[in-house]
Amino acid sequence: MEIRRRGVLVTGASRGLGAALSRALAREGARVVLMARGSGDLEKVVADIRREGGEAHGLVADIGAKDDIYRIAGAAAALVGALDLVVHNASTLGPTPLKPLLDTECEDLVRVLDVNLVGPFRLTKAVAGGMAVRGRGLVVNVTSDASISAYPTWGAYGVSKAALDHLARIWAAELAESGVRFLTVDPGEMDTVMHADAMPEADRTTLADPAAVADRIVDIVRHAEQIPSGARIEAASWRRALEQAS
């Protein structure tokens, strides 16, 4: 899809992949709303983007809080116009160090599902109807290989991402004729705070730079019409998969 001048919302945008992706989209001329729970890092990223000549606006909100959803959707559309791209990047691991399911509090599972699954559903519900009436739009879910592989101690996170992946497939099926597309992107392992929280012992030199992954996701957004709606793709290898399919 065309990125220039389009209204974009990125959640979890104050650091890591969300910040890098917001920067990359703004560089392409998108009008970007960055959402995060805290204002400190968020305002820094917004200021960076503006310094580079991009358009960016920061909104402080919690994707896991029901009351925040329509506020975010409304304020974002007021700031940059009707949203054409929403990137559900915010997510939580739950308490770290990660725990086996037998040690997982039910309340912690609920909170992980609220942030990683129910929040994105609510926000998509708040924007996708407008996209469908306009006949265009793209919703990108950021996922993880934990949505497919049953890694011990990754239960709450893994099940939330597996459900999010499937939710995108159902959204795509229901809105197949509407011009609104859904993509699920596995960014691979990146050198982020979240990764360090989950796997503090990991060798950081083996991890991808979020900025490089963000560029790949911008490339995916640009070619979204060529990828089947609802598809789950890997940022590192989607081009190869697309070529093999065609």
Partner 1 sequence: MNPASASTARDRRLLHLDPRSGELRDRYVRDLEHLVRPGDVVVVNDAATLPASFAGRTADGKALEVRLAGANEDGTWSAALLGPGDWRQRTEDRPAPPALPAGTHIAFGPGLSARVTAVSSLSPRLVTLAFASAGSTLWSALYRLGRPVQYSYLRAPLALWDVQTFFASRPWAFEPASAGLALSARAMDGLRGAGAIVASVTHAAGLSSTGDPAIDAALPLPERYDVPAATALAVLAARARGGRVLAVGTTVVRALEGAAADGGGRLEAGTGWTAIRIDAGFHPRIVDALFTGLHQRGETHFELLRAFAPDEALKAALDHAGHEGYLSHEFGDAMVVI
Which residues of this chain interact with partner 1, rule CB under 8 A?
Answer: 33, 57-60, 67, 69-71, 73-75, 77-79, 81-83, 125-127, 129-130, 132-135, 177
* Smallest separation (angstroms) from partner 1 to the CB of 151: 36
- Between 93 and 168, CB nearer to partner 1: 168
Residue type, 77: A
The catalytic residue among 157, 171, 182, 238 is 157
SS3 content of the chain, % helix, strand, coil (to 5): 50, 15, 30
Q: Which residues contact 167 (CB under 8 A, 6 or more apart)?
A: 117, 120, 121, 141
Q: Considering the complex, what minimum distance in angstroms separates the CB of residue 47 from partner 1?
A: 12
**CA within 13 Å, CB half, 101:** 8
Q: State in angstroms the smallest separation of the CB of 26 from partner 1.
A: 14
The closest of 185, 187, 192 to 223, measured between CA atoms, is: 185
Q: d(Cα 104, Cα 157) in Å, to the nearest integer?
A: 11
- The answer to whether 7 touches 26, Cβ cutoff 8 Å, is no
Residue 82 Cβ vs partner 1, minimum distance, rounded to whole Å: 4
Is 70 assigned a catalytic role?
Answer: no
Rounded Cα–Cα distance for residues 112 and 72 (Å): 20
* 40 vs 200, beta carbon nearer partner 1: 40
Between 135 and 228, CB nearer to partner 1: 135
Q: Which of residues 77 and 148 has its CB atom nearest to partner 1 in the complex?
A: 77
Active site residues: 157
